[in-house]
Structure 1
Amino acid sequence: MKVSVWDTYVRREDGKLMHFDILVPDHITDENTVFDFGTEYLKTKPFETLKLTAKECRLCHIEQATDEMVAAIQNNGFAIIEMENCN
């Protein structure tokens, strides 16, 4: 499965900058759908964040999904790779 990788940065309420990737099947091209997935992910966090918009989230590249990514996408519609300040 090919996935689109959306490079995402969101400011937390404590001022830290979260950095994570939102991965979706490459046929999903509507950025609002991707933003909805990112917002759904952010709701799982124990801290508040600013709103996710095109300024914070942009299509970066397309890559081959790993088995773990495919499983997450099959379960949730998307996968997340946490990079910085996500916990």
Structure 2
Amino acid sequence: MSIKVFDTHVRTKDGRYLHFDVLIENNDPELAKSYARRFLEQQGVQDEDIAQDRCLFCHVEPSNPQVAAAISEQGYFILKLQGCQE
């Protein structure tokens, strides 16, 4: 499976910085943004908490079994990079 990587950066109004990648099968920026919003809600960040955000297509890469399984099951995989809770 070939996956598309959307590099995502979010700065909250209270100064938090979250950096993560949204991995999906299709090159659909709006779908990636909706998955990013879903993840942010799970992190306790609501739309009104966001001061600045960016979710942009970065590159294509082959998936590993864990990522492929998550995408098959839920449509996406989040790769947590900075500031994200477990």
**What TM-score do you get using the length of structure 2 for normalisation?**
0.85
Q: Which runs of no fewer than 5 residues in structure 2 stay unpaired?
A: none
Separation in structure 2 between the aligned mates of residue 16 and residue 58 of structure 1, nearest angstrom: 20
Aligned residues: 83
Kindly report the root-mean-square deviation, in angstroms, between the aligned alpha carbons of the 2 structures. Answer: 1.8
Structure 1 residue 47, shift from structure 2 partner: 4.1
Q: Which runs of no fewer than 5 residues in structure 1 stay unpaired?
A: none
State the SS of the aligned residue for 1:43: helix
Are positions 1:58 and 2:59 aligned together?
no
> 1 or 2, which has the higher helix percentage?
2
Q: Is the 8 A contact 1:39 1:52 kept in 2?
A: no
Structure 1 residue 17, shift from structure 2 partner: 1.2
> 1 or 2, which has the higher strand percentage?
2
Q: Which runs of at least 4 in structure 1 moved beyond 6 Å after TM superposition?
A: none
